[in-house]
Amino acid sequence: MFGTWGKSVGVWLTAVAAVTLPRATCIASEFHFDRDTFAFANQTVFEYHEGHPSLRRGSSVRRDMYKRHCFVLCRTAMQFKKFARFDPRGAPLDDASLAARIHAVTRRQPWTDPLSQDQRIVFPGYKDLREMSKARRELVQLNIGHGWPSYFRISNARMIFQQGAGYQEETHARLNAALARGEWFIGFLTTYPRFSINHSVLVYKRKSFSPNPGVETYSVYDPNHPESPRELTWSPHTRSFSYQKDWDFVGGYLRVYQVYGKWLQ
């Protein structure tokens, strides 16, 4: 869509990332999956069998299911990492006070710079986000935001108009550049127009070793899978991303679009 100009930008961003990434890998790794993610899962609207969706039936349909919140969970994990700190020695807050502090975190724009430790919003009684979201699951779920607005994000239109390999090269360069700066990258994963996946993950580390030579491997927090990290890969040969196979995705090729990296994204 952007022709030679788009390719030039992508090459430039890749060069910046290549120069700075070794210096900052340790900074990006400060995001720890076992403490900086939520203890509960985002549940899917559909049932999946080997990555293929079908309508939920019978006992699998519950009105209290916490679904359609993958974007919200990724965004909030980033906001807590940037703007909150935990004090396990303090007494846990009552529900109203805890809700107010959660709102104070989630009102901040996720793309802005992190707060210094003395300016951060304090959450006493818990050692990290995972422990708090396990102990106060329902209250956390009720106060981090609704999932439905993610379906109406203006930036979602990119999946229709920016589908080329050139745009994916630019996205890959931005991903490396973000990690090089010690930041994190929230990605919108899609296989539009098929929609075998329509999802969001938080990329927090580029792995130093990949089992496939020439393929770059990244560790991600996937809200559908709070038990362990998942892997996103980039192939320079095919100029494309792939995501690992699991119960909710058949695995393989998809497109990635950055979200929450700037206003209206």
- The tens digit of pLDDT for each residue in 104-120 reads 999 999 999 999 999 99
Distance CA 9, CA 189 (A): 22
**Closest CA relative to residue 176, chosen from 19, 70, 51:** 19
Strand partners, 52: 49
Tell me, what's the pLDDT at 134? 98
Classify each residue of 188-204 as buried b or exposed e, where b means 16 or more C-beta atoms within 10 Å of its C-beta.
bbbbeeeebbbbbbbbb
- The tens digit of pLDDT for each residue in 43-75 reads 887 665 555 565 655 554 556 689 999 999 999
Distance CA 265, CA 75 (A): 12
Confidence of residue 210 (pLDDT cuts 50, 70, 90): confident
Tell me, what's the pLDDT at 44? 81
Percent of the chain with pLDDT over 70: 82
- The tens digit of pLDDT for each residue in 138-157 reads 999 999 999 999 989 899 99
The larger pLDDT score, comparing residue 161 to residue 44, is at 161
Tell me, what's the pLDDT at 53? 63
Residue range 81-96: average pLDDT?
98
Tokens 């309508």 identify what position?
Answer: 55
Residue 11, pLDDT > 70, answer no
> What pTM does this model have?
0.84
Residue 85, pLDDT > 70, answer yes
Q: How far is CA 210 from the centre of its chain?
A: 21
Least confident of 52-61, 204-213, 243-252: 52-61
Tell me, what's the pLDDT at 63? 62
Residue range 152-172: average pLDDT?
94
Distance CA 265, CA 153 (A): 8
Distance CA 142, CA 72 (A): 11
